[in-house]
């Protein structure tokens, strides 16, 4: 089964050569010549289509034996950075279904390529996002950048926090932003999760507790125990994981001593 695009359905290329390259990728599968032609074209739709193909190939690489475009990784990353250095393109200019499709395509490749040095670009894209697809891609790219950082970029932390603690946002939006800290072991990540324990939304509370239970339980055990005590007995996942982590963290000697009279 071949892949066409994530973000550029129906967007015109206005160039027969680029149309042929897009058709080759959509109908015949991976082709380096067609891919590089789109990537290096300088045309928003063509470049975005190439980035989508890179991201899709990366996401399926475990099943296909690898990403056939890995040799272009450095070039793809530089192209994505260039796109994010500019404001998102409106759909009226690109023919895409949604505004900011170019940012969405750039951020999707950053899920696997972003480093700490991309944090400011991702934060900027997150703040400019006007569609769910861009916001979700930005939070996932942020997760990659944060997981690679020993000291978190405060600009990115603030951009994510603005969503996490915005009660006008949907639960899904707040959770997407909070999940960006899943693999960040920095104390800054723990501070955000600890603040989120006091959220009005129990789903946000539970995911904050999950982050703390996974990476920071020794410092935040009491806070996690307090919020867990307020949850209903039938609280859904990840409540059971948090409870298991709390039980597993108890020193057996301490547990035995606590039962002595």
Mind giving me the DSSP string for 51-74?
HHHHHHHHHTHHHHTS-TTGGGHH
Specify the pLDDT at position 260: 42
Specify the pLDDT at position 251: 47
Is residue 46 within 8 A of residue 38, CB to CB? The reply is: yes
CA distance 7 to 21: 17
Is residue 227 within 8 A of residue 260, CB to CB? The reply is: no
Predicted confidence pLDDT, tens digits, the chain (261 residues): 689 999 999 899 999 999 999 999 999 889 999 999 999 999 999 999 999 999 999 998 888 889 999 999 999 999 999 999 999 999 999 999 999 999 999 999 999 999 999 999 999 999 999 999 999 999 999 999 999 999 999 999 999 999 999 999 999 999 999 999 999 999 999 999 999 999 999 999 999 999 999 999 999 999 999 999 999 999 999 999 999 999 986 644 444 343 443
Sign of CA dihedral 159, 161, 162, 168: positive
Tokens of 68: 């056939």
pLDDT digits (tens, 9 = 90+) for 18-73: 999 999 999 988 999 999 999 999 999 999 999 999 999 999 888 888 999 999 99
Q: Write the CB contacts of 172 (distance below 8 Å, at least 6 apart in sequence).
A: none
CA atoms within 13 A of residue 73's CA, in its CB half-sphere: 13
Mind giving me the DSSP string for 112-152?
HH--GGGHHHHHHHHHH--SHHHHHHHHHHHHHHHHT-SS-
Is residue 134 within 8 A of residue 107, CB to CB? The reply is: yes
């Amino acid at each position: 089964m071949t892949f066409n695009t994530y973000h550029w359905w129906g967007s015109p290329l206005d160039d027969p050569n680029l149309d042929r390259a897009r058709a080759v990728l959509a109908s015949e599968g991976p082709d380096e010549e067609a891919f590089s032609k789109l990537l290096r074209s300088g045309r928003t739709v063509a470049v975005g289509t190439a980035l989508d193909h890179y991201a899709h190939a990366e996401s399926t690489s475990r099943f296909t034996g690898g990403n056939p475009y890995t040799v272009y990784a450095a070039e793809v990353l530089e192209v994505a950075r260039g796109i994010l250095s500019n404001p998102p393109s409106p759909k009226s200019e690109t023919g895409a279904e949604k505004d900011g499709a170019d940012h969405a395509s750039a951020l999707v490749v950053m899920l696997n390529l972003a480093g700490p040095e991309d944090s400011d670009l991702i934060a900027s894209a997150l703040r400019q996002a006007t569609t769910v697809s861009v916001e979700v891609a930005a939070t996932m790219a942020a997760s990659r950048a944060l997981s690679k950082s020993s000291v978190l970029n405060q600009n990115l932390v603030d951009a994510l926090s603005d969503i996490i603690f915005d009660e006008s946002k949907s639960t899904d939006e707040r959770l997407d932003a909070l999940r960006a800290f899943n693999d960040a072991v920095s104390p800054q990540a723990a501070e955000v999760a600890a603040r989120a324990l006091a959220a009005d939304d129990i789903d946000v509370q539970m995911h904050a507790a999950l982050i703390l239970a996974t990476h920071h339980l020794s410092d935040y055990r009491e806070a996690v125990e307090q919020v867990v005590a307020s949850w209903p007995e039938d609280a859904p996942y990840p409540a059971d994981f948090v409870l298991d982590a709390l039980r597993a963290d108890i020193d057996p000697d301490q547990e035995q001593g606590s039962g002595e009279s």
